[in-house]
Structure 1
Amino acid sequence: MLVKSLTRIREVIVTSSVLACEVVKVICALFLLVKDGSLRTLFKEWNLIASLTASGLPAAIYALQNSLLQISYRNLDSLTFSMLNQTKLFFTAFFTYIILRQKQSIQQIGALFLLIIAAVLLSIGEGSSKSSTSNNPDEILYRGIVPVLVASVLSGLASALCQWASQVKKHSSYLMTVEMSIIGSLCLLASASKSPDGVAIKQHGFFYGWTPLTWIPVILNAVGGILVGLVTTYAGGVRKGFVIVSALLVTALLQFFFDGKPPSPYCLVALPLVLTSISIYQKYPYRVKKKEA
């Protein structure tokens, strides 16, 4: 909501906002490491191979994911974007099983499928609806729905890799934030050199379309990224996702109050499915059998 209200959303170059967010993340994470007194110890123990193993691949994945999300929420309304973005829970559960062998109960699997049904409803609704930010159904599909769904797959993979690094390899969450932001920014800069965004930055400058207010959502995004890293470390990727889904209620409320736009019929059907899936997932955790124990 802040991105849409505080920035000239069609003018700000995607790469510039993503890179600015990564720089703010590094500054915040370094400040927190200094504050808890662990920066010097981590600096002495740091080595390149361990860093690339823990943070390299997730960083590259998140850099691509962030760019896809920036494209997507420019072409979808806030609530639809948020709900489609929650399909990352299914992919997070899938990849945590593949990488960490973290199993789900039958009820939890059912809950994740409810989430996918909600996403499909939204895709069908938004593909034929004229209530989005664009009247072109093809633009809604290919520049709104498809990017956010691809980003969800990437998010699930990256989340599982981060959970592996923090829980199995005992890599510091704040250090991972710094490493991933730096590596992700380098990947983004390398790709931007030959992309339309890179050309736009050369022509118009890095801060083209920015105002002082543009920094507010950038800073909040950065702080949110650090908090998500902590939740992944201590609660795991799937639970992190279900916690974030609660933002749907806030998004719907804010969209109604600030835009005067009530949720679409598809959102009204999908929202209870999302909330039901959260309830089922939390209520029926996987229980280890005696043989497995």
Structure 2
Amino acid sequence: MAGDGKGPGTGGEFKREAQRQSEVNKKLKYFSLAILVVQNASLILSIRYVRTLPGDRFFATSAVVMAEVLKVLTCLVIILFQKRGNVRDFIILLYDSIVIQYLDTLKLAVPSLIYTLQNNLQYVAISNLPAATFQVTYQLKILTTALFSVLMLRKSLSRVQWVSLVLLFAGVAIVQVEQEGKQKETSVASTSQNYAKGLVAVVVSCLSSGFAGVYFEKILKGSSASVWMRNVQLGIFGTALGLLGLWWNDGAAVTEKGFLFGFTPMVWGVIFNQAFGGLLVAVVVKYADNILKGFATSFSIIVSTVTSVYLFGFHVDLLFTLGAGLVIGAVYMYSLPKAVVHSSSSSSASTVSASAHNRSHLSNGDGDSERDDFLPKFPEKEKGN
């Protein structure tokens, strides 16, 4: 009888709690949208800004290495926090995940190599392309990720998604034709920038982004390791490969001038944005549905374009507006859910998630679960393996 008396009250309390949680999730979605837009736009604009400032120019290779080191340290702190500060359990977990399961760790060498290449190529591309042009062209990563998903993961795309990919390609092509014409008109505008070099860099970056994201998703399927541990494993390879690239490309200059040569507060801001921004987005994105992610990408293109007009004197004409409009519409169309929900309905979500978060190395295939805790717990079987 007591139980019967408490039933309605408990049910009402549960309903109110569910409503409160729904309100919180709604606010978090819009907060997530703001975070995604700011991170997407600010990283590109800030890299463009520091790479075009007069004076000593920092080494992009050393910036990539520093971002990897900071990312690894951050993930280690999060894992230690998950272990409630128990250093012994923390060390045992690291030893088990990285050393004992070395074959599992070695699988991440391939995506880590590609991510390191991609991060360096982004600096090359942004140094030689206007920020708005880079932002529009870089959306080709959605096309490459989708194609690699179809080829490697046998995923299916809806008709709307295929149409959006065609529109995406057309929009990027229009922007490139417009920029090519502008380059011929102002061929002697800047001797320090090479448009063709920047274009090749962004195209290769998009190809590597698509392949690495899908490969990483394939590795993560059936894996019990947390996303933070995966980032530690990626970061170990990323740091080592980044140092190798630094020695190969800038070894003599770094030996002469120092590893942190040209590192101003603005440069440190870019590095922190690159290291922590990606991790923050990875946590935040679980509260943003796929449509909001597409909208955030589209809106960040507009923000980058408008800011470039005021900050870099970028000229927006009708052709660029048409091309950018097609890209924005295509990104939004691609993120729309499929009309028919079936067993592989998560394919579009995971594809966009993979392409959108390659930079942060957090494109896990199951990153859409909104009920996960802020810091995901390790599954029980991870300790046993």
TM-score band, normalised by shorter chain: 0.7 to 0.9
Paired with 2:306 and 2:106, the residues of 1 have a C-alpha distance of 41
- State the shift of 1:49 in Å: 0.9
TM (norm. structure 1) is: 0.84
Look up the match of 1:43: 94
Contact 2:125–2:134 (8 Å) recurs in 1: yes
| Unaligned runs of at least 5 residues, structure 2 | 1-44, 346-385
8 Å Cα contact 1:14/1:70 also seen in 2: yes
Higher deviation after alignment, 265-274 or 281-290: 281-290
Q: Judging changes above 3 Å, is the alpha-carbon distance between structure 1 residues 132 and 33 closer, same or farther for their aligned structure 2 residues?
A: farther
Spell out the pairing of 1:83-102 with structure 2 (5 A cutoff): 83-102=136-155
Say whether residues 1:156 and 2:203 are aligned partners.
Answer: no
> Which residue is equivalent to 1:72?
125
Alpha-carbon distance between aligned partners in 2 of 1:15 and 1:157, rounded to the nearest angstrom: 22
- Residue 205 (str. 1) matches residue 258 (str. 2): yes
In 2: Cα distance, 1:276 partner to 1:115 partner: 8
Match of 1:14 in 2: 60
Give the C-alpha shift of residue 288 in structure 1: 5.7
CA shift digits 1:21-49 (9 cap, x unpaired): 11111122122222233873742541211
Distance in structure 2 (CA, Å) of the matches to 1:159 and 1:231: 19
Structure number with greater CO (CA < 8 Å, separation at least 6) is 1
Deviates more, 1:149-158 or 1:253-262: 253-262
Question: d(CA) in 1 for partners of 2:93 and 2:112?
Answer: 19
Closer, same or farther: CA 96–154 of 1 in aligned 2, 3 Å = same
| In structure 2, distance between residues paired with 1:133 and 1:3 | 23
Residue 262 (structure 1) shift: 4.6
Equivalent-residue separation in structure 1 for 2:305 and 2:193 (angstroms): 25
More displaced stretch, 244-253 vs 215-224: 244-253
Q: CA RMSD in A?
A: 3.3
- Is this contact kept in 2: 1:126–1:132, CA < 8 A? no
Distance 2:80 2:236 in 1: 18
Unmatched segments (≥5 aa) in structure 1: none
Q: After the TM superposition, which of the residue ranges 37-46 and 214-223 deviates more from structure 2? A: 37-46
Aligned residues: 288
Partners of 2:174 and 2:289 in 1: how far apart?
28
Give the conservation status (yes or no) of the 8 Å contact 1:74–1:133.
no
1:173 maps to 227
Distance in 1, Cα, partners of 2:142 & 2:299: 13
Q: Please show how residues 106-121 of structure 1 align to structure 2 within 5 Å.
A: 106-121=159-174
**Alpha-carbon distance in structure 1 between the residues aligned to 2:189 and 2:239:** 30
2:180: which partner in 1? 127
Instruction: Tell me whether 1:248 sits opposite 2:301 in the alignment.
Output: yes
CA, structure 1 residues 191+244, in 2 after alignment: closer, same or farther (shift >3 Å)?
A: same
User: 1:97-154, CA deviations, whole angstroms, 9 ceiling, x for partnerless residues?
Assistant: 222222111210110121111111222222232479954699201x211100010000
Structure 1 residue 187 corresponds to structure 2 residue 231: no
CA contact (8 A) 2:48 2:126 kept: no
User: Which amino acid counterpart does residue 82 of structure 2 have in structure 1?
Assistant: D
Counterparts of 2:109 and 2:287, CA distance in 1: 21
Partner of residue 340, structure 2: 287
Contact 1:128-1:137 at 8 Å conserved across structures? no
- What is the deviation of 1:64? 0.6
Q: Contact 2:75–2:229 at 8 Å: present in 1 too?
A: yes
CA shift at 1:238, angstroms?
11
Q: CA deviation at 1:242?
A: 7.0
- Using the TM superposition, name which of 26-35 and 37-46 deviates more: 37-46
Q: CA deviation at 1:278?
A: 2.6
Distance in 2 (CA, whole Å) between partners of 1:198 and 1:236 is 44
**Greater Cα radius of gyration, structure 1 or 2:** 2
Structure 2 contact 67–275 (Cα < 8 Å) conserved: yes
